[in-house]
Structure 1
Amino acid sequence: MKSSRLVSILLLLQTRGRMTAARLAEELDVSVRTVYRDVEALSAAGVPLYGDAGHAGGYRLLDGYRTRLTGLTTEEAEALFLAGAPGPAADLGLGPVLAAAQLKVRAALPAELRAHADRVSGRFHLDAPGWYADADDTPYLAAVADAVWNGRVLDVLYRRWREPTDVRRRLEPYGLVLKAGRWYVVAGPGPGLAPRTFRVDQILRLAATDEEFTRPADFDLAAYWTAYQRDFHDRLHGAQAVIRLAPGARLTGPAGEAVRANGRTDPDGWTVATVPIESVDHAHGAFLSLGADIEVLRPAELRDRISRTVSELARIYGNSLAGGGD
Structure 2
Amino acid sequence: MRADRLISLVLLLRRHGRLTAAALARELEVCTRTVLRDIEALSAAGVPVYAERGRHGGFALLPGFRTDLTGMNHDEALALLVAGSGRAEQVFGLGPALASAMRKVADALPEGHRDTASDAARRLLVDPETDLLSRRPSGEELTGATMAEVRRAVLAGRRLRIHYAATGQAPRWRTVDPIGLVIVRERGYLLATRSGADRTYRLSRVLAAEELPEPAQRPERVDLDRIWRDRCARFLSGDHVTALVRVDPARREELVGTALAVRAEEPDADGRLRLEATYQDARHAEWALWQLTTDAEALAPQWLRASLRDRAAAMASCYGRPS
Q: More displaced, 121-130 or 177-186? A: 121-130
Q: Which amino acid aligns with 1:69?
A: T
Give the superposition deviation at 1:54. 12
Is the CA contact (8 Å cut-off) linking 1:77 and 1:113 kept in structure 2? Answer: no
5 Å-filtered alignment, 1:1-326, equals 7=7, 11=11, 15=15, 29-31=35-37, 33-39=40-46, 59-60=61-62, 62=64, 67-70=68-71, 72-84=72-84, 89=89, 94-123=94-123, 124=125, 131=136, 135-138=140-143, 140-161=146-167, 165-190=170-195, 193=196, 195-213=198-216, 215-229=218-232, 232=235, 238-241=241-244, 250-251=251-252, 252-254=254-256, 261-265=265-269, 269=270, 271=272, 273=274, 275-278=276-279, 279-288=281-290, 296-312=298-314, 320=321
1:36–1:83 distance in 2 versus 1, CA, 3 Å: same
Secondary structure of 2:200's partner? strand
Q: 2: distance between equivalents of 1:204 and 1:54?
A: 47
Q: 2: distance between equivalents of 1:5 and 1:291?
A: 52
What is the alpha-carbon root mean square deviation over aligned residues?
A: 4.9
Q: 1: distance between equivalents of 2:19 and 2:286?
A: 67
Secondary structure of 2:243's partner? strand
Q: Deviations 1:239-281 (Å, cap 9, x if unpaired)?
A: 233x556x7774433499969932330xxx3757353242444
**Structure 1: segments with no counterpart, 5+ residues:** 43-48
Q: Which amino acid aligns with 2:304?
A: L
Give the superposition deviation at 1:299. 2.7
Secondary structure of 2:105's partner? helix
Secondary structure of 2:43's partner? helix
Q: Which amino acid aligns with 1:218?
A: R
1:78–1:235 distance in 2 versus 1, CA, 3 Å: farther
Is the CA contact (8 Å cut-off) linking 2:43 and 2:49 kept in structure 1? Answer: no
Secondary structure of 1:153's partner? strand
Give the superposition deviation at 1:82. 1.9
Larger Rg: 1
Give the superposition deviation at 1:307. 4.2
Give the superposition deviation at 1:237. 5.7
Q: Deviations 1:133-185 (Å, cap 9, x if unpaired)?
A: 5853545222212222322212334222256x444422112223344444322
Give the superposition deviation at 1:118. 0.9
1:109–1:272 distance in 2 versus 1, CA, 3 Å: closer
1:116–1:175 distance in 2 versus 1, CA, 3 Å: farther
1:263–1:113 distance in 2 versus 1, CA, 3 Å: same
Q: When the two structures are superposed, what TM-score results if normalisation uses the length of structure 1?
A: 0.66
Give the superposition deviation at 1:283. 3.9
Q: When the two structures are superposed, what TM-score results if normalisation uses the length of structure 2?
A: 0.67
Q: Which amino acid aligns with 1:261?
A: E
Secondary structure of 1:169's partner? strand
**Structure 2: segments with no counterpart, 5+ residues:** 29-33
Q: 2: distance between equivalents of 1:244 and 1:54?
A: 68
Secondary structure of 1:262's partner? strand
Q: 2: distance between equivalents of 1:5 and 1:303?
A: 59
Is the CA contact (8 Å cut-off) linking 1:140 and 1:200 kept in structure 2? Answer: no
Q: Which amino acid aligns with 1:154?
A: L
Is the CA contact (8 Å cut-off) linking 1:81 and 1:120 kept in structure 2? Answer: no
Give the superposition deviation at 1:22. 8.6
Give the superposition deviation at 1:210. 1.7
Is the CA contact (8 Å cut-off) linking 1:258 and 1:276 kept in structure 2? Answer: yes
